[in-house]
Amino acid sequence: MMALFFRDLKLSIRAGGGAMIGVLFFMTVVAVIPFGVGPDLNLLSRIGPAILWIGALLASLLGLDRLFQAERDDGSLDLMLMQETPLLFTVFVKCAAHWAATGLPLVIASPLLGLFMNMSEIAIGATMLTLLIGTPAITFIGAVGAAVAVSLPRGGLLVSILVLPLAIPVLIFGVSAVYAVIEDPAPFLPPLMILAAITLFFAVIGPVAAAAALRHASD
Amino acid sequence: MRLMAEGLSAKRGEDLIFNDISFVLDASEALVVTGPNGSGKSTLLRVLAGLLRPESGHLKLENGPPEIAHPSELSHYLGHRNAMKRELTVAENLSFWRDFMGDSPGGRGATLAEAVEAVGLPDIAHLPFGYLSAGQQRRMAMAKLIVAYRPIWILDEPTAALDAGADRLFADLVKAHLGKGGIVVAATHQPLGLDRMKELHMTGFEHLAGDHWHDA
């Protein structure tokens, strides 16, 4: 299983892998916001956490459609379906590798983009922490969409649309946890705990659903 | 070990592709599936590999390891696509599949060096798979068959894109596998020159009743 993890990591950083595409998209989206909103520093720091979260959500949806489609196109998916190893472990490991290649760079890039948005240190720290906890959920949810759309050419947008409603709670609790840090009376821990619960929930449900979808998509 | 298929039939969408196919393969036996294009050879092989559910009938393994749920877990499947990543080197591809698949009980896979030697391309394992010609890619996909041990090989047009020398090399690989007590099911038009070979001639949808098989 570690072999699969490292192979997917290697693939994502080789040519055409697309690990950097997500980060670039994230940076582009966030970097243009100050130009659009104007130099109102208070406004920027107020909307900053939300913008970072929206940017990260869209960026993590970007490469998801190729998660299983690339395997299907070259026949690797057939072999993965045949193994004694339960398919859901294979899916889980692929999700983990996908997150490490595309989600983790977003988390690492977020402090820099937080500076763009005139966010305070504590807000940047909180955004990083919530992104770290929340983005795996988006990958696991996205895996289900990617598995459903595996046999569709140009399923990319479809995956995003399928996945977005399920990813909305992640966004809501991620952003509200950050705002709880900035605005004193709101409690920080409950939204963070719910965010962690969502991630754990989808870490279990996602691979099961995606594995079932892949089995039925095989033709 | 004995692989038995009983009354297999399969559909694609609403169309019946083949009907009531049965065969028995003992250790060291090969089944060659022949027939015109579109007669259902690939569909049959995908059913054997557990990638398509048969409409009726079932597949059984006798005297195999007890913990096996489906014979596909003991099978290699070489389809039309090579299941290798163009961006990774040949060695990376092969070592991934060896680690990921692992060996079935009762055998041991070849080392990487032995495998690329066996397909006659020992010097290019360091190149990205995408740089190779179609024939070289096919040979490397065959090397995948021996890096992880599987007693059953399911091969779909394995010799497409191969030259005459590679054809012989492939026949040798199959013979060596059969010699070790393996089972081979192959859709191919190339004569393999095997002693214990069964032939299944598929005639396609219009002549469903006419499918038959015989010992060659």
Among A3, A15, A79, the residue with its CB nearest the CB of B77 is A79
pLDDT, one tens digit per residue, over B129-143 is 999 998 899 999 999
Instruction: Tell me the residues of A at the B interface, defined by beta carbons under 8 Å apart.
Output: 1-4, 7, 10-11, 14-17, 73-76, 78-85, 218-219
Which band of pLDDT confidence, cut at 50, 70 and 90, is reported for residue A17? low
Among A15, A75, A82, the residue with its CB nearest the CB of B73 is A82
Chain-chain contact of A11 with B85 (C-beta, under 8 angstroms): yes
DSSP string, B171-182: HHHHHHHHHTT-
Answer yes or no: is pLDDT of A141 > 90: yes
Measured from the Cβ of residue A90, the count of other Cβ atoms closer than 10 Å reads 22
Measured between CB atoms, does B134 come within 8 Å of chain A? Answer: no
What fold does the segment set B2-215 form as a domain? Rossmann fold (3.40.50)
Report for A150-154, B109-113, B163-167: range of highest mean pLDDT: B109-113
Measured between CB atoms, does B160 come within 8 Å of chain A? Answer: no
Tell which B residues from 2 to 41 touch A, by Cβ distance under 8 Å.
12
Chain-chain contact of B87 with A218 (C-beta, under 8 angstroms): no
Q: How far apart are CA A43 and CA A102, in angstroms?
A: 29
pTM to 2 decimal places:
0.90
> C-alpha angle A95/A98/A103, rounded to 5°?
110
The ranges assigned to domains in chain A are 2-10+18-217
Which band of pLDDT confidence, cut at 50, 70 and 90, is reported for residue B215? very low
- What ipTM goes with this model? 0.88
Q: How far apart are CA B67 and CA B65, in angstroms?
A: 6
Instruction: Using a pLDDT cut of 70, give the percent of chain A over it.
Output: 98
A41-62 and A19-37 helices, crossing angle to 10°:
150
Residue B88 C-alpha, separation from nearest chain A C-alpha, in angstroms: 7
Residue A87 C-alpha, separation from nearest chain B C-alpha, in angstroms: 12
Q: Which of A114-123, A148-157, B47-56, B129-138 has the lowest mean pLDDT?
A: A148-157
The ranges assigned to domains in chain B are 2-215
